[in-house]
Amino acid sequence: MTATMSRDAEQAGQGTQTLTIAKGLNLGLRAAMEADNKVILLGEDIGRLGGVFRVTDGLQKDFGEERVLDTPLSESGIIGAAIGLAVRGYRPVCEIQFDGFIFPGFDQIISQLAKLHYRSEGRISVPVVVRVPYGGGIGAVEHHSESPESLFCHIAGLKVVSCSNATDAYWMMQQAIASDDPVMFFEPKRRYWEKADVDTTAEPGPLMASRLVRRGDQNTTKRATLVSYGPQMRTCLDAATAAAEDGVSLDVIDLRSLSPLSLEPVFESVRRTGRLVMVTEAPSESSISSEVAARVQQECFYSLEAPVHRVTGFDTPYPPAKLEEHYLPDLDRVLYAVDQTLAY
């Protein structure tokens, strides 16, 4: 074990510490690799470079080139190789360098990865994790700021999750790797450097579960529920803080699991508040936000005091960097939606 590995291994077991989301992912990958020598990482520039966002920094040096593989620029090849490794008993973790690069590997994910377990009548498991840095806000060029998560939520056989903070980054990565099902793991890249205190010795909650992260004041009549995931969670928490200054109480819920959806905490909150605002960077058409809105309407119809409002990206291709501030949901758009739902 190298000195660097010793320091990081020691850091992973220190209890509560301050980590960025990127470091939480890194330590989560490290913990999984230390626990199981069948865990293998593969992707473009993830070895010597440590990945474009340095999420795999130091892992090839410590675990070797046979467990942290720098691949050719071929997303289809990366996913295909991972499927073969998984069938032979390994637990591959693929990195897709940017969200918009995933489409060359789409056929392998949909036609093979999602279907092998079902096709084999349960005889074959394909425990593959596909890491996807996603979302906008980094001033990037075309194909680097997409939010394609809903595409994968339509596909039976895949689990789809997204972390929004360093604690979930650390624990959800390990849980996804331990899963015997293929997991699409979406990482909010513009939030990679946001910090939080992480207890690396605590018992984590379940992977496929949403969570109430802020409970509003129940003693006010001006109440609503904000639901989001990934990069927009920070915006929603900021909106709840700003709204509280005006006497508006907001519950904030992080979906975490996008497929299958875990909506019971959402239903419980909406039954208390009577109002729902769903926030996501992805376009609104045929999306996770539309599914949440439909399910809440079905389950909480007699509790709703206003229509469900959605704050989303627009139904256009992602714009050039100089226009992305107009495309992405921001504090003003979220608070405006809250005002609209309270006006009923």
Going from N- to C-terminal start, the domains of the chain cover 7-199, 211-343
Residue 279 has pLDDT above 60, yes or no: yes
One of 144, 154, 309, 326 is an active-site residue; which one?
144
Handedness of CA 163, 164, 167, 169 (dihedral sign): positive
Task: Report DSSP letters for 134-157, one per residue.
Answer: E-S-S---TTSS---HHHHHTSTT
Contact present, 136 and 190 (Cβ < 8 Å): yes
Residue 11 has pLDDT above 70, yes or no: no
Residue 2 has pLDDT above 80, yes or no: no
Which residue spans within 177-221 are E strands per DSSP? Answer: 183-188, 195-199, 211-214
pLDDT tier at 1 (50, 70, 90 boundaries)?
A: very low
Least confident of 17-21, 29-33, 201-205, 306-310: 201-205
Residue 246 has pLDDT above 50, yes or no: yes
Question: For the residues 190-210, what does the mean pLDDT come to?
Answer: 94
CA distance 134 to 146: 6
178, two tokens: 């331990």
- 211-343 maps to which CATH number? 3.40.50.920
Least confident of 35-44, 52-61, 212-221, 327-336: 212-221
Same fold, 7-199 and 211-343: yes
Q: For the chain, where are the alpha helices, taking DSSP H only?
A: 3-12, 21-35, 59-63, 75-87, 106-107, 116-119, 149-153, 166-178, 233-244, 264-273, 288-299, 324-327, 331-342
How many percent of the chain have pLDDT more than 90?
93
Residue 312 has pLDDT above 60, yes or no: yes
CA distance 186 to 78: 17
CA distance 239 to 270: 17
Peptide bond into 127 cis (omega under 30): no
Higher pLDDT, 245 or 6: 245
Listed residue (311, 241, 314, 238) closest to 276, CA to CA: 311
Question: 259-270 pLDDT, tens per residue?
Answer: 999 999 999 999
Q: Is 117 annotated as catalytic?
A: no
Q: What pLDDT score was predicted for residue 317?
A: 94
Q: What pLDDT score was predicted for residue 220?
A: 87
CA distance 164 to 196: 11
Contact present, 117 and 146 (Cβ < 8 Å): no
Question: For the residues 324-342, what does the mean pLDDT come to?
Answer: 97
Q: What pLDDT score was predicted for residue 285?
A: 94
pLDDT tier at 219 (50, 70, 90 boundaries)?
A: confident
The helix or strand, by DSSP H or E, that contains position 42, with its residue range, turns out to be strand 39-43
Q: For 50-192, where are the alpha helices, taking DSSP H only?
A: 59-63, 75-87, 106-107, 116-119, 149-153, 166-178
Question: 89-117 pLDDT, tens per residue?
Answer: 999 999 999 999 999 999 999 999 999 99
Higher pLDDT, 250 or 202: 250
pLDDT tier at 3 (50, 70, 90 boundaries)?
A: very low
Average pLDDT, the chain: 95
Q: Which CATH superfamily is domain 7-199 in?
A: Thiamin diphosphate (ThDP)-binding fold, Pyr/PP domains (3.40.50.970)
pLDDT tier at 224 (50, 70, 90 boundaries)?
A: very high
Question: For the residues 328-342, what does the mean pLDDT come to?
Answer: 97
Pairing label, strands 159-162, 257-259: antiparallel
Predicted TM-score of the model (pTM)? 0.94
